[in-house]
């Protein structure tokens, strides 16, 4: 995966230490008088007027002045203003111009971004799409700039350079070099590099095949939320090259994880077993177990999902009370979907009460679950049916009585699973 930094990261809100108002006032006066050093200092500190649009324009003007005075950091920043259309109309050619000037002045971030602008490698990465209308198939130029940034120790550039070697963009395909650069980026915490390095160890490309090493790097990527890495771990395990139970697999992933990643991974395991992916078969019982763990740790999405599983009887025994409990927990955290589900449960409960009240006259006795026999209509089979959730009792007009369980069918209009007793 080839990646670039997000705008918020690129803006570098470099408020290194608190400053008193008088100091800011002094900088502002100098900036207004044309002092480009003061202008750039204010840009870095994020200071500006009250009107947001006007701030963007002023920041652009001051950044351009600093950039015109060969300030590499300002040149890089100006390239990003052009890329994102902040304070100026979006202009990819101008962005390339300023990235190039900053890159020639040694700015590693500009070198990385310039490399991306010459390459379509990794277009599936959302962060790289910002360059799509200015990207060209000039991989050799891309490698030139990416290598300079990578050699300065920039982890994103190291990850990108590894991807160039992996696919053969601007260089001959070389798994050995890909492994070298992915490792450097991985050791600095780059998630996609960790997953790619895991793939190389799994397949024995550029490194000696080592499933334990593959599991290690997949585990690090998974703790950062990479679902593909989670699936890789489970697939290796099912192939006999890793832990053999879902509990053991989970421990591989969260061994070094912080609590927030642990909770996300619990939910990811729920997704894995609920939907089934790659080599993992659907197992709604296991899905419910993992969702519940995440839900008990406060994850809003998992709380809603647990509620839905109880409401529909998927992986757990159907229990509207439990469903309502978990829906309420999710709703308390702001889930609008959970609030809608609560309303639907209340409406369904009222409908059941009304239905049971209407069916009371059909009952032949308080201890008899079968409804009374209906009147015979010539040329037509008629029946009375009584259901409690899926369990149903039916009496036909000829006196025959049938006890059966109604199947669940999905209602696309309501988005809910419902029991359908069918006709006579």
Which residues of the chain are modeled with pLDDT < 70? 1-24, 27-28, 31-40, 42-56, 120-137, 238-262, 277-280, 348-368, 389, 410-417
Buried b (16+ CB within 10 A) or exposed e, 63-100: bbbbbeeebbbbbbbbbbbbbbebbbeeebebbbebbb
CATH homologous superfamily, domain 1-167: Tetratricopeptide repeat domain (1.25.40.10)
Token digits of residue 249? 């697999």
Contact between 223 and 265 under an 8 Å Cβ cutoff? The reply is: yes
Residue pLDDT, tens place only, 159-187: 999 999 998 888 899 999 999 999 999 99
Residue 9 pLDDT: 32
Segments making up each domain of the chain, as ranges: 1-167, 369-419
pTM passes above 0.75: no
Token digits of residue 120? 């379509």
Q: What is the mean pLDDT of the chain?
A: 76
Report the SS3 class of residue 296: helix
Distance in angstroms (rounded) separating the CA atoms of residues 78 and 11: 10
Residue pLDDT, tens place only, 72-83: 888 998 888 888
- Non-local (6+) Cβ contacts of 384 within 8 A are 362, 371, 372, 373, 374, 394, 395
| Nearest by Cα to 16 from 43, 36, 45 | 45
């Amino acid at each position: 995966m080839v990646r670039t930094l997000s705008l918020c990261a690129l803006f570098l809100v470099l408020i290194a230490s608190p400053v008193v108002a008088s100091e800011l006032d002094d900088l502002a006066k100098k900036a207004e008088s044309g002092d480009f050093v003061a202008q750039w200092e204010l840009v870095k500190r994020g200071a500006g007027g009250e009107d947001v649009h006007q701030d963007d324009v002023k920041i652009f003007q001051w950044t351009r002045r600093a950039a015109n005075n060969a300030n590499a950091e300002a040149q890089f920043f100006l390239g990003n203003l052009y890329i994102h259309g902040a304070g100026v109309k979006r202009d990819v050619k101008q962005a390339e111009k300023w990235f190039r000037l900053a890159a020639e002045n040694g700015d590693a971030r500009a070198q990385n971004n310039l490399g991306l602008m010459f390459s379509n490698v990794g277009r599936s990465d959302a962060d790289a799409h910002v360059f799509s209308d200015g990207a060209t198939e000039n991989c050799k130029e891309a490698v030139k700039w990416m290598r300079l940034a990578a050699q300065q120790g920039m982890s994103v550039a190291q990850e990108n350079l590894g991807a160039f070697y992996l696919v053969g963009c601007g260089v001959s395909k070389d798994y050995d070099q890909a492994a070298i650069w992915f490792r450097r980026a991985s050791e600095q915490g780059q998630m996609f590099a960790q997953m790619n390095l895991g793939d190389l160890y799994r397949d024995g490309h550029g490194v000696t095949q080592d499933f334990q090493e593959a599991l290690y790097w997949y585990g690090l990527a998974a703790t950062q939320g990479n679902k593909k890495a989670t699936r890789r771990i489970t697939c290796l395990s099912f192939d006999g090259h890793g832990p053999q139970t879902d509990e053991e697999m989970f421990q591989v992933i969260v061994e070094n994880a912080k609590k927030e990643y642990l909770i996300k991974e619990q939910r990811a395991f729920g997704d894995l077993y609920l939907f089934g992916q790659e080599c993992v078969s659907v197992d709604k019982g296991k899905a419910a177990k993992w969702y519940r763990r995440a839900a008990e740790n406060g994850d809003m999405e998992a709380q809603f999902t647990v509620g839905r599983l109880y409401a529909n009887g998927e992986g757990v025994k159907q229990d509207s009370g439990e469903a309502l409990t978990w829906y309420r927990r999710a709703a308390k955290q702001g889930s609008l979907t959970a609030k809608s589900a609560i309303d639907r449960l209340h409406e369904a409960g009222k409908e059941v009460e009304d239905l049971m009240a209407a069916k009371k006259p059909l009952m032949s006795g308080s201890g008899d679950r079968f409804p009374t026999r209906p009147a015979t209509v010539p040329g037509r089979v008629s029946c009375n049916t009584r259901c409690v959730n899926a369990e149903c009792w039916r009496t036909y007009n000829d006196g025959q009585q049938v006890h059966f369980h109604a199947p669940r069918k999905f209602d696309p209009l309501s988005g809910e699973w419902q029991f359908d007793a069918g006709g006579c």
